[in-house]
Amino acid sequence: MAKREALPEETVTASRVIYEGRKANLRVDTVRLRNGRTSEREILEHGDVAAVVPLDDDGCIIMVEQYRLAAEGVMLEIPAGMIDAGESAEDGAQRELAEETGMHAESLVKLADFYVSPGISTEVIHVFLAEGLQPAEASADDDEDIVVRKVPLSTAVLMAERGEFNDAKTVIGVLLAARSQRLLR
């Protein structure tokens, strides 16, 4: 994660907790800006996420389809989930890969990490390319209904360009995985 130093920080003068929940907390901070004015910042406190582009020996990526209530529809995404307390991003990626697709990766390479929405959320997604896939022992999350789909990486790139993935981590994972495989021309 490349932090940049240039502007002075906003100064937090007050902070109130609105909600402490299962996957996220919400707080509202009062900040003093450089110009002396005061503003409020709503901050969703959300743990880090590990996401995986699982690339098999046939050049296909293993994707998951699931209903997303926030999007009110079924979405086709790369496997991902929240990193547990005390778990590394790599271990979280392997665990989510096993839980959602039943596979284990011999090789994991970091493709990117990014804030999903730095104006409001602390959520960072760490995206890995996973290769050398082997069947893993795993049990699925009991509150996720997931269907696994194989998509050739070259097809996935075209889908990303045509706007057929509507999920940030999936667009980024597919495009960077294709770049790493020198598939993008």
Do the Cβ atoms of 50 and 113 come closer than 8 Å? no
Q: How far is CA 169 from CA 15, 28, 86, 129, 185, in A?
A: 30, 26, 23, 12, 21
Rounded to whole angstroms, the Cα distance separating 34 from 126 reads: 32
Q: Which residue has the tokens 């994707």?
A: 63
Contact residue for a copy of itself among 60, 62, 63, 77 (CB under 8 A):
77
Closer residue to a copy of itself, CB minimum distance, 39 or 88: 39
Contact flag: residue 30 with a copy of itself (CB under 8 A): no
Closest approach of a copy of itself to the CB of residue 180, in Å: 8
Contact flag: residue 158 with a copy of itself (CB under 8 A): no
In the region spanning residues 79 to 98, those forming contacts with a copy of itself, defined by CB under 8 A, are none
Q: Which of 180, 101, 179 is nearest to 147 (CA)?
A: 101
Closest approach of a copy of itself to the CB of residue 134, in Å: 27
Contact flag: residue 109 with a copy of itself (CB under 8 A): no
